[in-house]
Amino acid sequence: MLRGTVVSSVDKTPIRSALVQLLGEKPRAMLTGADGSFQFEGLAAGDATISVRKPGYFSPQEYYPESIGERVVHLAPNLAPIELKLYPEAVIFGRATNENGRPLEGLTVQLVPTGTENSARKLEDLPNTLTNENGEYRLAELHAGTYLVSASRKMNANGPIAFFQASKLSHGYPTYFYPNVTDSSLATPVRITPGKQVQADLRLTMQPLFRISGTVQGISAGAPVVVVMVGQNDVEPVAASVVAPGLNGFVLEGVPAGSYFLGALQAGPGDSVGEKTGITRVEVTENREGVSIVLAGKKTIPMRYRFESTQPNGNVAQDPGVSVSFERTDLAPEAGLFTETYVPGRSEISLDPGTYRAKINAATNRCVASIRSGGTDIVAEDLVVTAAGPVEPVELVVRDDCGRVQGSITKDGQPAMGRVFLIPESEPRRGISTAANSDGKFEFQGLLPGSYFAVALDGADDLDPENPEALKAQRGRATKVEVQPSAEVSVSLELKSLEP
């Protein structure tokens, strides 16, 4: 017999009508009673996977999808009752009004990561919604984290971008941040935890709209150019226009004051071949004339892949098991834009001029020893691609003598869920993180041999493990771990609160 209780992760309140599923040779399922209890009888001995679900809650694996999986129970006589936790969703809600207190309908309200240089979250992955006729909005199914709440009036387009018509209104609403500021650095961050409901009302004041005009340089003959203006905390444009073939001037009307990326794109004859782009930052406080955007084609960068095998008959010709994503960091890293992914077998990649961070994705038996472009280690430093001059070939070296770290998290002697950070001592920008499952178990695979620091933190889902500054305060509380080639090491970690 297997019996237990489903409770809230916040205060251990019993949860009724939760679906508990026991997966094995003979799957079982039932709903919990009013006291959150469940009981399965007539079970054969052996291992079985147990899961729990309920609308309005996250299971541990939904909350931390990268954890090592659902909870496994060993069915045996006289098995003690077990406790399963659900994480209640968090909600941010509120009302947007104008300076006269009247509701604003149709505003886009979205969450923005705080301190984007320290945040692993992407803007495009965060929820957004529109205010209703009463100016009300509701953002539900939120994970814990710290966010800014923004409201803006997006450009209205009912067709292809070539037919966008710029607004010629003289006044409008710029992007506002909770509670009532247009500068994101002055906004009040909203910290939410599981089950928390936060009211964040926004009050917007109508402000003058401006006209931005200029020219696009480096246009190729025969194709139009699309010019788009996007706020630094937005994904959708606030204004756009098209430069017809044979011309090079553009005009954008109805632009609120703020910080923007001004971009231009000229498509090539097929796919991305011959495509040209140009992007610049623009601060808008008044009408702007003479703004220049310079188009440049993508730079082709040779790629070299080398595999160093320490195993008998080591061969990755059919299974390289690794890829590297080059994510642009000098524009909008929080939006996850401008990414190119390399996989072994390709002889080159194409990148727009800009600054890129290399992010590694590797199979469990593959570890990246180095990624270099000439004399630059592009794990420790960013890759800079300039419009003028060639870029040194990028060499990727992969090994198969990877190590593995597995372990558990406890708090007050009991298994605990949390986020585990593993930071290499010699290359802190190559840090990684994962989450423990509901048994407190975690593991890291595909590790380059060497010395690491491991720490388990509560409430640290916003931290970017590849940013050494973000974890500087935590490193002194970490446990040092030595990873040997092709070996496994076990470690037990006490869950710690996040240091400010």
- The CATH number of the domain holding residue 191 is 2.60.40.10
How many angstroms separate the first and last alpha carbons of the chain?
46
Read off the pTM: 0.74
Which residues are CB-neighbours of 40 under 8 A, at least 6 positions away?
Answer: 1, 2, 3, 22, 28, 30
- Do 185 and 255 share a structural domain? no
Per the structure, the complete domain to which residue 426 belongs is given by 403-497
Of 127-131, 181-185, 401-405, least confident by mean pLDDT is 181-185
Which residues are CB-neighbours of 371 under 8 A, at least 6 positions away?
Answer: 324, 358, 360, 377, 378, 379, 394, 395, 396, 397
- Do 199 and 95 share a structural domain? yes
Please provide the DSSP assignment of 92-146 as one string: EEEEEE-TTS-B--S-EEEEEESSGGGB---GGGS-EEE--TTSEEEEEEEPSEE
453 three-class SS: strand
- State pLDDT tens for residues 16-74: 999 999 987 788 999 999 999 999 988 888 888 899 999 999 988 888 877 777 788 88
pLDDT reported for residue 157: 43
Residue that the structure tokens 């079970």 belong to: 43
Phi-psi region of 439 (alpha: psi -120 to 50; beta: other; left: phi over 0): alpha
- State pLDDT tens for residues 131-187: 999 999 999 988 878 889 999 876 554 444 434 444 566 788 888 999 999 888 889
Cα–Cα–Cα angle for 239, 245, 247, nearest 5°?
Answer: 75
CA separation for the pair 90, 354 (Å, rounded): 37
Residue that the structure tokens 């094995």 belong to: 24
Q: Are strands 348-351 and 354-362 parallel, antiparallel or unpaired?
A: unpaired
- Bridge partners (DSSP) of residue 219 are none
CA separation for the pair 152, 145 (Å, rounded): 22
Last residue in a domain, options 264, 296, 328:
296
Closest residue by Cα to residue 467 from 499, 436, 430, 434: 430
Last residue in a domain, options 62, 88, 114:
88
Q: Please give the tally of structural domains in the chain.
A: 5
Which residues are CB-neighbours of 131 under 8 A, at least 6 positions away?
Answer: 95, 96, 103, 104, 105, 106, 107, 109, 137, 151
- Do 323 and 377 share a structural domain? yes
